[in-house]
């Protein structure tokens, strides 16, 4: 039984009890406990169920590599699945439930999979569920999906907030163990900018647990001294509960700081994602102990030897009362010795090595622990907890030589350096036979923008396990970093550490070495995904020989721990099955993140109303006050219409149109793009950018222009006004301002850089209001100040003028077919001017209108709209706009493209108007069908609708569309097919439905 | 080759699964083949499979520089749909989708095609019109889609927030028979079937040169020696440029990283595939329970299979906005697939590449069409519209018309 | 996450400040060119595994277009230079030759 044997754990405060709930039952732990240590202290060993077989599982580790003990944590808006119990500190009121079982953790129907395990080997689903076909969708897959997943899906919206930090350092040191502290200390003394981060809540790493001395004092006093000195350095930042999760190209580093996951009080941001540029990243990330592969190695109570030691020393918690230790290295002896010295039983240390351990073994024997060399566990007895072990010879097939009763097993299969950050950006690894590890290959580091190494590793992360060597390595690196990044000359001594004599580790991939198949079928490699030795061997037998195949076929290393415990053992088993050295097999690619990162922290603070920036016209506040129905247009919000109380949007749109056509309406057109193109070559440049001739435009006049891409397609349109000899004002579509500005800059800077032209985007500097309708001139005259008669300001002319005391620029242009003035004023007075127009127009019933009325009125007039009549595949010729394509110019963007055979094809679909026979509105997006089908059996199409509206002016449906040879077929009736198959007949007509002569706009 | 079935699994279970054969034979190259396919990804293997199945050509070698299925076949978000706007795209993707329907039975390998439905959200007026147009086009193309209301969106996918403050959901284009498949299984299933027909799958064999005599292909040079052949199909996605360079021509393609990620597995909460193009992200839930997320591509050429973080940030932000419950899930794994982009989704028939983000869903259809081309020497109806000369003529098959992001 | 030094304003610009603009040193073929020339100019691209010349715009900075020489495998940047040139500066091509003794990119190697 696991229990708290001492209240003197390093990390707990025994005078501060904390109450929490697990699976609805209240437990008590101490401040400083993790959920794992607190539950172990309360005798809870069974903590979770595995993914595939639903086998009972307890903790196997004490850190972020934990694959078994995952919980649903918290409630409602603070609920989170798959939280690792080994990394969760308890706080008052914490509530967690175990995962992946029904109806309860202790009794789980899913465990039936475990009894059927032999029928569910790796990849079984590829070979089954094939017949009969409909069964997959209706029976098999629903069954598989029922068993999918671990934790519950959250139901409520996240109640926490998140934030991002952007930071710059000379060096980021990842890991606050001895290696990290010493590196940061020495580098920091030189004055360069250092960030030191530690994923756990406390500093010092493993060395404090392993009872080494530094500078003749206990490790923790050295740690405290170093921390004091670091804290006093203004150039050094220290952060705990912060994990280095990713290294990206050019020295970009992601840090993940958990700010209040350990607190009852959830105020403030929950997580902080640090986006860091650092010249160097030093990984002092340590190493993770490997499990040993023996039958029953997943039974609750079988725990990594280092974790057993962690729980005992940090929390005063023992996994069991009688702990058998199995190892292939000297480190695990420390666990046995500590347990024994704490008054717990250690019946035996099984050392797989024929020659056994060094100094540590002698110490263990000296305090009365039985040590057996060349012996291992053949299988563990027990189901929901360990009851004993069968012992066998390490070199044999597994004949039991002895059964030893125990309630815990501490296992150590050696150590694997944490090389993830080294590898994220391409750092290579090499297999070290002596230490049985994949270590960073320092000759092939990840390289930065200069082709230089930008990641270093120190200590266990380099594969170095001797503390005396680690402090030397850290000191040297710290000094060289200081020099490299321009720090001041300093001297730092290497701390004094006693050297231990250890016997070398011997690879121990499964035990015993020639284990029978029956044992291999029960030996787990990936605990969460239930991948066994037999699965890896099956994969190898079936030809899944590369590590990438193995991983995908067996799911080895695909669990939430991403193979931190399982990968190396799995690779070794694969290598053995293929009879190749492990170095040849290689590893899978390490990809970010090192540990899972909350989606919320990635999204950051940009959520809800600040999800994306909103662009607002200078008149936006008025629209909001007057209940405009908004629609997003790019980042802009534009009023779609202004609906009165109880009025449907369609009614509002019709009202706005009729009022504008009969009297006067005003439109906030401020979002329209406005680009100033100036310079001695401005005219020449615009001749290249537009299909029309612009250089011959007279000052004071406006001209409608088209722009094509180099591929010939229409990309934007708008009115160009010549302001002066060298200055043009180019209007673009609302969505086009930035795009067209960039387009012009690109051509100016990268192709025609000899032209002296300057382009400015002044869209947001001006408010622009269209005053539209037969009474528009009267309205403006009421404001007074300038003669805007037909004679003074003709159609397609502009003037700078005072209107009602406002400095304005008036353009006589029309997108509705009515008498119309587009007037721009400084953005700062846009709202005042809008209000002035409303006041002056009250006698005429002036009415603001929105984008939908704008669209309908332009369609009534047969004007095209970029994005409706065009879709990126339309050339101006398709829209009968040949008149706007200059024949005189040698060149313009798109001209060469138009010469290609398909662009000149007379059968291209061309713009026409469409009127249904019954007056109905043609369905948006519908196609006109011809006879027969094409070679792929699709119905033959001869045209399509591009814009379709109910016209309140004409009181019927009108549409524009593209039809094969359309302009030649006016009067013909063609068939449009609805999705239902129903046919709607429409007559091809001229696209100008309203005021064909243009007399209304030109008065 | 022994048939896969529940019975076979049960039989093998009783003898510790010792009787399973290799899923495909790994071969050493012969001196000569009728056809060499370069690239053992999904497209290459499917091409070989349909060469054998439809045309009886089985003296075929499939050469792979790494491991089969090790490229984008194993690095995509597994979405299968055919709700394309333009006729030629809809034809080839619908052919592919319909082949996926029976692929498990055809290959005797469960590729887990799951027609759970794909929806593309409309979040602007412009998108509504685009998808209504696509729905009309699909009806005429024989592709079953419909434009559905926000209420139906919510019913099909309860975790969507349809009332988001920035981009409320206004409707969606819904293809009920779109879905997902197990991507690795598609490559493995084709490989097994090819091997069963006697074709040679030669892994870790890099092509280093193309041999021609009088402008005609006569064979290839490889790291495993020279191999003669009558015809070559190059189906190597991101490395098409490198191979085209060997053969002496340039292609209208560029290789960029497309980012994807998965969350930790959670109990099923989403039965459909959702694509939100206005905010640039798409998501589905795998049979294992992971939320599979995809988004934008980097704008620069990249062969490193890793990309830049800010695209992931934008994608995740967009999806947290669309599916607020995922905020407290955790990103487990993130990768960049190297996709070949082109100014349009192009497919060159002598070189089959340039599928952009649409590669996985096209595999059976592309293989079918490519096999026809290789066997007959001229493209069939599916491929006709994709001939490479269309660039010169100014004819394009542009799908970006309908959707901000094409997948 | 790439970083480039903008040759105009000297800023070390993060990728989020930049817009990628594809292959550099394309020669424009306009009216009067053959179909072959125009097609090649508009569509065919170098897609090298290794040294590449490409265009970037410092769009959220000074707004200028510049060219960069970069390795598409390791992301190493060999240099940046203004876009208003028909060929890369020799110091950059020399630098590449030192670091990548065998490289080719159109006629510049």
> Is the predicted pLDDT of residue B140 greater than 80, yes or no?
yes
Q: Is residue A511 domain-shared with residue A386, that is, in the same domain?
A: yes
Q: Is residue A297 domain-shared with residue A283, that is, in the same domain?
A: no
Average pLDDT, chain B: 86
User: What confidence score (pLDDT) does residue C79 get?
Assistant: 97
Give the helix ranges, DSSP H, for B74-180.
87-101, 103-107, 125-141, 150-156
User: What confidence score (pLDDT) does residue B249 get?
Assistant: 61
Q: Is residue A403 domain-shared with residue A303, that is, in the same domain?
A: yes
- List beta partners, residue B266: A151
pLDDT in tens, A56-85: 999 999 999 999 999 999 999 999 999 999
- Which token pair is A756? 């002296």
pLDDT in tens, B251-308: 677 777 888 899 999 999 999 999 998 888 999 999 999 999 988 778 888 888 787 8
Q: Do A895 and A709 meet the contact criterion of CB atoms below 8 Å apart?
A: no
Q: Do A256 and A215 meet the contact criterion of CB atoms below 8 Å apart?
A: no
> Is the predicted pLDDT of residue B406 greater than 50, yes or no?
no
Pairing mode, strands A408-412 and A323-327: parallel
Handedness of CA B331, B337, B341, B345 (dihedral sign): negative
pLDDT in tens, B127-136: 999 999 999 9
Whether A848 is in a domain gets the answer no
Chain B nearest CA to C16, separation (Å): 7
Whether A966 is in a domain gets the answer no
Q: pLDDT: is B352 or B65 the higher one?
A: B65
User: What confidence score (pLDDT) does residue A210 get?
Assistant: 83
Contact: A902, B159; criterion CB under 8 Å = no
User: What confidence score (pLDDT) does residue B390 get?
Assistant: 67
Chain C nearest CA to A434, separation (Å): 31
> Is the predicted pLDDT of residue B343 greater than 50, yes or no?
no
Phi, psi for A332 (deg, rounded to 5): -65, -20
Whether C55 is in a domain gets the answer yes
Mutate to test the interface with C, among A750, A886, A889 (most CBs of C within 10 A): A750
The whole-angstrom separation of Cα A962 and Cα B399 is 18
The whole-angstrom separation of Cα A109 and Cα A103 is 7
DSSP character at residue A625? H
User: What confidence score (pLDDT) does residue B121 get?
Assistant: 97
Q: Which of B239, B252, B255 sits opposite C44 (nearest CB)?
A: B252
Pick left, alpha or beta for residue A936 (phi over 0 → left; psi -120 to 50 → alpha; otherwise beta). alpha
> Is the predicted pLDDT of residue B345 greater than 70, yes or no?
no
Contact: C15, B242; criterion CB under 8 Å = no
User: What confidence score (pLDDT) does residue B350 get?
Assistant: 44
Mutate to test the interface with A, among B320, B321, B345, B383 (most CBs of A within 10 A): B320
Residues 6+ apart with CB under 8 A from A611: B164, B165, B166, B317, B321
pLDDT in tens, A801-824: 999 999 999 999 999 999 999 999
- Residues of B whose CB is below 8 A from C38: 392
pLDDT in tens, B2-39: 899 999 999 999 888 999 999 999 888 999 999 999 88
The whole-angstrom separation of Cα B227 and Cα B32 is 6
- Which token pair is A386? 């360990």
Residue written as tokens 């619908």? B94
User: What confidence score (pLDDT) does residue B403 get?
Assistant: 38
User: What confidence score (pLDDT) does residue A455 get?
Assistant: 98
Indicate the range of A335-339, B214-218, B329-333 predicted with least confidence.
Answer: B214-218
Between residues 258 and 317 of chain A, which touch chain B (CB distance below 8 Å)? 275
Pairing mode, strands A766-772 and A665-668: antiparallel
Q: Which CATH number do you get for residue C39?
A: 3.30.2270.10
User: What confidence score (pLDDT) does residue C24 get?
Assistant: 96
Band (B77; pLDDT cuts 50, 70, 90) = confident
Residue written as tokens 């064999």? B205
Whether A333 is in a domain gets the answer yes
User: What confidence score (pLDDT) does residue B296 get?
Assistant: 76
Q: Where are the domains of chain B?
A: 7-88+183-252+343-393, 118-176+255-341
Band (B399; pLDDT cuts 50, 70, 90) = low
DSSP character at residue A570? H
Q: Do C91 and C98 meet the contact criterion of CB atoms below 8 Å apart?
A: no
Q: Do A208 and A232 meet the contact criterion of CB atoms below 8 Å apart?
A: no
Q: Is residue A719 domain-shared with residue A740, that is, in the same domain?
A: yes
What is the percent of chain A where pLDDT is above 70? 100
Indicate the range of A123-132, A194-203, A249-258, A634-643 predicted with least confidence.
Answer: A123-132
Q: How many domains does chain A have?
A: 5
Q: Is residue A96 domain-shared with residue A17, that is, in the same domain?
A: yes
Q: Do A373 and A508 meet the contact criterion of CB atoms below 8 Å apart?
A: no
The whole-angstrom separation of Cα B379 and Cα A936 is 13
Whether C104 is in a domain gets the answer no
Q: End-to-end alpha-carbon separation of chain C, Å?
A: 27
Q: Give the structural domain span for A555.
A: 523-584
Whether A270 is in a domain gets the answer yes
- Residues of B whose CB is below 8 A from A121: 9, 13, 17
Q: What's the CATH number of domain B118-176+255-341, 3.30.9.10, 1.20.1090.10, 1.10.287.610, 3.30.230.10? A: 3.30.9.10
Contact: C54, B252; criterion CB under 8 Å = no
> Is the predicted pLDDT of residue A952 greater than 80, yes or no?
yes
Q: Which chains have at least 3 CB atom pairs separated by less than 8 Å from chain B?
A: A, C
- Output the CA–CA distances (angstroms, integers) from residue A461 to A282, A438, A458, A571, B310, in the order listed: 10, 10, 6, 19, 28
DSSP character at residue B208? E
- Output the CA–CA distances (angstroms, integers) from residue C87 to A26, C51, C53, in the order listed: 74, 15, 10
The answer to whether C59 faces chain A, any CB pair under 8 Å, is yes
- Which token pair is A429? 């690894």
Band (B377; pLDDT cuts 50, 70, 90) = confident
Q: Which of A277, A749, A890 sits opposite C65 (nearest CB)?
A: A749
Q: Which helix (H) or strand (E) element contains residue A164?
A: strand A162-174
State the number of CA atoms in the 13 A half-sphere of A498 facing the CB.
13
Phi, psi for A149 (deg, rounded to 5): 80, 165
Angle (CA) B40-B45-B50 rounded to 5° is 160
> Is the predicted pLDDT of residue A789 greater than 60, yes or no?
yes
A453 SS3 class: strand
The answer to whether C101 faces chain A, any CB pair under 8 Å, is no
Whether C76 is in a domain gets the answer yes
Whether A858 is in a domain gets the answer no
Band (B239; pLDDT cuts 50, 70, 90) = low
Q: Is residue A185 domain-shared with residue A233, that is, in the same domain?
A: yes
Q: Count Cβ atoms within 10 A of the Cβ of residue A751 and give its class: 0-12 exposed, 13-18 middle, 19 or more buried.
A: middle
> Is the predicted pLDDT of residue C72 greater than 60, yes or no?
yes
Exposure class string for B386-396: b at 16+ Cβ within 10 A, else e: bbbebbbbbbb
Residues 6+ apart with CB under 8 A from B103: B111, B113, B181, B186, B189, B364
> Is the predicted pLDDT of residue B349 greater than 60, yes or no?
no
Q: Which of B109, B184, B394 sits opposite A712 (nearest CB)?
A: B394
State the number of CA atoms in the 13 A half-sphere of A389 facing the CB.
32
Q: Is residue A336 domain-shared with residue A385, that is, in the same domain?
A: yes
Q: Is residue A710 domain-shared with residue A562, that is, in the same domain?
A: no
> Is the predicted pLDDT of residue C51 greater than 50, yes or no?
yes
The whole-angstrom separation of Cα A388 and Cα A370 is 16
Question: Residue A512: is the preceding peptide bond cis (ω within 30°)?
Answer: yes
Q: Is residue A370 domain-shared with residue A510, that is, in the same domain?
A: yes
Residue written as tokens 């695909």? A558
The whole-angstrom separation of Cα A58 and Cα A385 is 8
Q: Is residue A376 domain-shared with residue A427, that is, in the same domain?
A: no
DSSP character at residue A385? S
Radius of gyration of chain C (CA): 14
Q: Do A184 and A194 meet the contact criterion of CB atoms below 8 Å apart?
A: yes
Would you say how long chain B is, in residues? Answer: 407
User: What confidence score (pLDDT) does residue B247 get?
Assistant: 60
User: What confidence score (pLDDT) does residue A241 get?
Assistant: 97
Tell me the average pLDDT across A353-374: 96
Q: Which CATH number do you get for residue A732?
A: 3.30.70.1400
Q: Do A693 and A865 meet the contact criterion of CB atoms below 8 Å apart?
A: no
CATH number of B7-88+183-252+343-393: 3.50.50.60
- Which token pair is A157? 């919206």
> Is the predicted pLDDT of residue A152 greater than 60, yes or no?
yes
The whole-angstrom separation of Cα B246 and Cα B220 is 10
- Residues of C whose CB is below 8 A from B334: none
pLDDT in tens, A154-171: 999 999 999 999 999 999
Q: Count Cβ atoms within 10 A of the Cβ of residue A52 and give its class: 0-12 exposed, 13-18 middle, 19 or more buried.
A: buried
Band (B348; pLDDT cuts 50, 70, 90) = very low
The whole-angstrom separation of Cα A379 and Cα A573 is 18
Chain C nearest CA to A249, separation (Å): 5
Contact: B241, C47; criterion CB under 8 Å = yes
User: What confidence score (pLDDT) does residue B187 get?
Assistant: 95
Q: Do B341 and B17 meet the contact criterion of CB atoms below 8 Å apart?
A: no
User: What confidence score (pLDDT) does residue B402 get?
Assistant: 43
Average pLDDT, chain A: 95
Q: Count Cβ atoms within 10 A of the Cβ of residue A358 and give its class: 0-12 exposed, 13-18 middle, 19 or more buried.
A: middle
Tell me the average pLDDT across A461-472: 93
> Is the predicted pLDDT of residue B310 greater than 70, yes or no?
yes
Q: Is residue A208 domain-shared with residue A236, that is, in the same domain?
A: yes
User: What confidence score (pLDDT) does residue C37 get?
Assistant: 93
DSSP character at residue A815? S
Whether A556 is in a domain gets the answer yes
- Residues of B whose CB is below 8 A from A935: 381, 384
- Which token pair is B28? 């050493």
Q: Give the structural domain span for C75.
A: 3-99
């Amino acid at each position: 039984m696991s229990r708290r044997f001492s209240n003197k754990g390093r990390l707990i405060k025994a005078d501060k009890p904390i109450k929490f709930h697990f699976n609805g039952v209240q437990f008590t732990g101490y401040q400083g406990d993790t959920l794992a240590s607190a539950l172990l202290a309360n005798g809870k060993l069974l903590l979770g169920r595995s993914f595939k077989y639903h086998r009972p599982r307890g903790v196997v580790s004490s850190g972020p590599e934990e694959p078994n003990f995952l919980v649903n944590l918290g409630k409602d808006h603070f609920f989170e699945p798959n939280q690792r119990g080994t990394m969760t500190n308890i706080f008052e009121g914490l509530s967690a439930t175990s995962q992946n079982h029904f109806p309860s953790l202790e009794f789980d129907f899913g465990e039936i999979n475990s009894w059927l395990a032999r029928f569910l080997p790796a990849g079984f689903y590829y070979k089954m569920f094939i017949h009969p076909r409909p069964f997959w969708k209706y029976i098999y897959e629903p069954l598989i999906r029922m068993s999918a997943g671990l934790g519950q899906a959250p139901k409520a919206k996240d109640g926490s907030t998140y934030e991002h930090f952007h930071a710059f350092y000379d060096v980021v040191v990842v890991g606050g163990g001895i290696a990290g502290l010493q590196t940061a200390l020495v580098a920091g003394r030189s004055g360069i900018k250092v960030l030191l981060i530690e994923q756990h809540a406390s500093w010092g790493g493993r060395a404090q647990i392993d009872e080494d001395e530094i500078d003749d004092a206990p490790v923790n006093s050295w740690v405290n001294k170093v921390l004091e000195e670091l804290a006093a350095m203004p150039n050094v930042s220290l952060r705990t509960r912060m994990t280095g999760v990713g290294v990206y190209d050019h020295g970009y580093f992601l840090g993940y700081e958990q700010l209040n996951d350990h607190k009852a009080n959830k105020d403030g941001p929950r997580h902080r994602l640090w986006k860091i540029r650092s010249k160097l990243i030093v990984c002092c990330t340590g190493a993770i102990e490997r499990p040993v592969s023996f039958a029953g190695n997943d039974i609750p109570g079988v725990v990594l030897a280092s974790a057993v030691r962690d729980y005992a020393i940090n929390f005063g918690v023992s996994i069991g009362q009688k702990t058998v230790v199995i190892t292939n290295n000297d480190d695990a002896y420390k666990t046995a010795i500590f347990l024994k010295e704490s008054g717990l039983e250690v019946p035996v240390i099984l050392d797989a090595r024929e020659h056994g351990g060094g100094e540590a073994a002698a110490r263990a024997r000296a305090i009365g622990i039985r040590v057996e060399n060349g012996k291992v566990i053949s299988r563990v007895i027990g189901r929901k907890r360990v009851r004993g072990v069968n012992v066998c010879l390490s070199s044999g097939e597994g004949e039991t030589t002895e059964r030893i009763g125990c309630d815990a097993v501490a296992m150590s299969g050696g150590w694997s350096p944490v090389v993830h950050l080294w590898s994220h950006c391409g750092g290579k690894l090499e297999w070290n036979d002596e230490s049985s590890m994949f270590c960073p290959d320092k000759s092939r580091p990840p390289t930065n923008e200069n082709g230089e190494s930008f990641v270093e590793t120190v200590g266990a992360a380099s594969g170095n396990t001797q503390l005396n060597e680690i402090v030397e390595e850290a000191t040297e690196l710290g000094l060289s970093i200081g020099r490299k990044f321009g720090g001041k000359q300093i001297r730092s001594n290497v701390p004094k550490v006693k050297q231990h004599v250890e016997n070398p580790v011997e690879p121990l991939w499964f035990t015993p070495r020639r284990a029978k198949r029956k044992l291999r079928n029960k030996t787990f490699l990936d605990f969460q995904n239930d991948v066994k030795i037999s699965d890896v061997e099956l994969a190898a037998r079936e030809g899944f020989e590369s590590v990438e195949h193995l991983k995908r076929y067996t799911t080895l290393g695909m669990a939430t721990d991403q193979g931190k415990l399982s990968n190396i053992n799995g690779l070794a088993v694969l290598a053995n099955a293929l009879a190749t050295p492990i170095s040849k097999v290689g590893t899978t690619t390490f990809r970010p993140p090192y540990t899972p990162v909350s989606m919320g922290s990635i999204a950051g603070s940009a959520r809800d109303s600040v999800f994306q920036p909103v662009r607002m016209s200078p008149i936006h506040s008025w629209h909001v006050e007057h209940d405009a129905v908004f629609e997003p247009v790019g980042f802009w919000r534009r009023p779609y219409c202004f609906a009165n109380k109880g009025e449907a949007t369609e009614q509002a749109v019709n009202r706005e149109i009729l009022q504008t056509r009969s009297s006067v309406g005003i439109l906030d057109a401020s979002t329209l793009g406005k680009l100033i193109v100036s310079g001695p070559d401005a005219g020449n440049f615009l001749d290249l950018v537009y299909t029309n001739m612009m250089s011959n435009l007279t000052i004071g006049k406006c001209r409608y222009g088209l722009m094509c891409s180099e591929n010939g397609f229409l990309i934007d349109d708008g009115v160009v006004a010549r302001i002066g000899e060298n200055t043009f004002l180019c209007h673009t579509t609302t969505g086009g301002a930035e795009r067209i500005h960039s387009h012009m800059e690109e051509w100016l800077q990268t192709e025609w850089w000899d032209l002296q032209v300057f382009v400015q985007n002044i869209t947001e500097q001006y408010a622009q209001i269209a005053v539209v309708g037969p009474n528009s001139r009267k309205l403006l005259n009421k404001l007074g100040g300038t003669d805007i008669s037909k004679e003074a300001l003709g159609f397609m002319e502009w003037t700078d003028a005072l209107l009602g005391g406002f400095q304005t620029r008036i353009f006589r242009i029309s997108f509705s077919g009515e008498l119309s003035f587009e007037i721009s004023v400084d953005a700062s007075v846009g709202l005042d001017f809008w209000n002035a127009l409303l006041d002056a127009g009250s006698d005429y019933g002036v009415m603001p209108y929105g984008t939908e009325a704008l669209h309908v009125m332009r369609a009534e007039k047969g004007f095209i709209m970029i994005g409706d009549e065009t879709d990126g595949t339309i050339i101006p010729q398709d829209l009968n706009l040949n008149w706007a394509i200059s024949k005189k110019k040698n060149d313009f963007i798109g001209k060469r493209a138009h010469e290609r055979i398909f662009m000149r094809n007379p059968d291209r679909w061309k713009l026409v108007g469409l009127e249904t026979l019954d007056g109905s509105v043609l369905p948006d997006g519908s196609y006109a069908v011809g006879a027969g089908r094409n070679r792929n059996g699709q119905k033959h199409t001869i045209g399509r609708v591009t814009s379709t509206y109910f016209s309140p002016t004409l009181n019927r449906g009108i549409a524009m569309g593209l039809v094969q040879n359309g302009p030649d077929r006016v009067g013909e009736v063609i068939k449009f097919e609805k999705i239902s198959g129903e046919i709607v007949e429409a007559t091809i007509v001229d696209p100008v439905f309203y005021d064909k002569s243009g007399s209304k706009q030109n008065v | 080759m022994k048939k896969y079935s529940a019975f076979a699994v049960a039989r093998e279970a009783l003898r510790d699964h010792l009787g399973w054969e290799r899923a495909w034979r790994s071969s050493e190259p012969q001196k000569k083949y009728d056809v060499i396919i370069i690239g053992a990804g999904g497209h290459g293997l499917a091409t070989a499979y349909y060469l054998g199945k439809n045309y009886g050509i089985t003296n075929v070698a499939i050469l792979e520089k790494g491991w089969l299925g090790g490229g984008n076949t194993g690095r995509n978000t597994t979405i299968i749909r055919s709700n394309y706007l333009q006729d030629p795209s809809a034809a080839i993707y619908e052919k592919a989708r319909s082949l996926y329907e029976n692929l498990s039975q055809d290959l005797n390998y469960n590729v887990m095609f799951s027609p759970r439905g794909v929806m593309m959200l409309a979040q602007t007026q412009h998108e509504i019109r685009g998808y209504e147009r696509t729905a009309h086009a699909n009806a005429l193309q024989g592709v079953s889609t419909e434009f559905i209301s926000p209420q139906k969106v919510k019913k099909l996918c309860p975790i969507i927030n349809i009332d988001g403050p920035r981009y409320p959901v206004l409707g969606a284009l819904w293809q009920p028979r779109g879905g997902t498949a197990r991507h690795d299984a598609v490559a493995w299933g084709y490989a097994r079937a090819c091997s069963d027909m006697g074709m040679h799958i030669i892994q870790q064999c890099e092509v280093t040169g193309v041999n021609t005599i009088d402008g005609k292909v006569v064979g290839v040079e490889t790291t495993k020696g020279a191999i003669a052949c009558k015809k070559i199909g190059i189906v190597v996605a991101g490395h098409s440029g490198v191979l085209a360079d060997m053969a002496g021509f340039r292609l209208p393609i560029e290789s960029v990283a497309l980012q994807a990620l998965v969350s930790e597995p959670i109990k099923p909460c989403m039965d459909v595939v959702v694509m939100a193009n206005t905010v640039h992200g798409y998501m589905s839930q795998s049979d294992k329970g992971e939320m599979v997320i995809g988004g934008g591509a980097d704008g620069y050429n990249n062969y490193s299979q890793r990309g830049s973080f800010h695209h992931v940030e934008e994608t995740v932000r967009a999806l947290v906005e669309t599916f607020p419950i995922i905020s407290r899930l955790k990103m487990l794994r993130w990768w960049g697939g190297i996709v070949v982009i082109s100014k349009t989704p192009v497919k060159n028939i002598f070189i089959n590449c340039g599928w952009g983000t649409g590669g996985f869903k096209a595999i059976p259809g592309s293989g079918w069409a490519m096999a026809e081309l290789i066997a007959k020497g001229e493209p069939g109806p599916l491929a006709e519209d994709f001939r490479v000369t269309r660039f010169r003529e100014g004819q394009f098959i542009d799908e970006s018309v309908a959707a901000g992001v094409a997948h | 996450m790439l970083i480039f030094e903008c040759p105009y304003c000297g800023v070390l610009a993060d990728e989020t400040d930049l817009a990628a603009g594809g292959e550099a040193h394309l020669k424009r073929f306009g009216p009067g060119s053959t179909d072959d020339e125009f097609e090649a100019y508009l569509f065919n691209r170098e897609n090298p595994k290794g040294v590449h010349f490409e265009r970037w715009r410092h769009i959220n900075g000074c707004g200028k277009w510049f060219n960069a020489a970069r390795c598409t495998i390791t992301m190493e940047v060999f240099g940046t230079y203004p876009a208003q040139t028909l060929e890369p500066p020799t110091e950059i091509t020399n630098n590449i030759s030192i670091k990548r003794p065998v490289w080719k990119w159109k006629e510049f190697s």
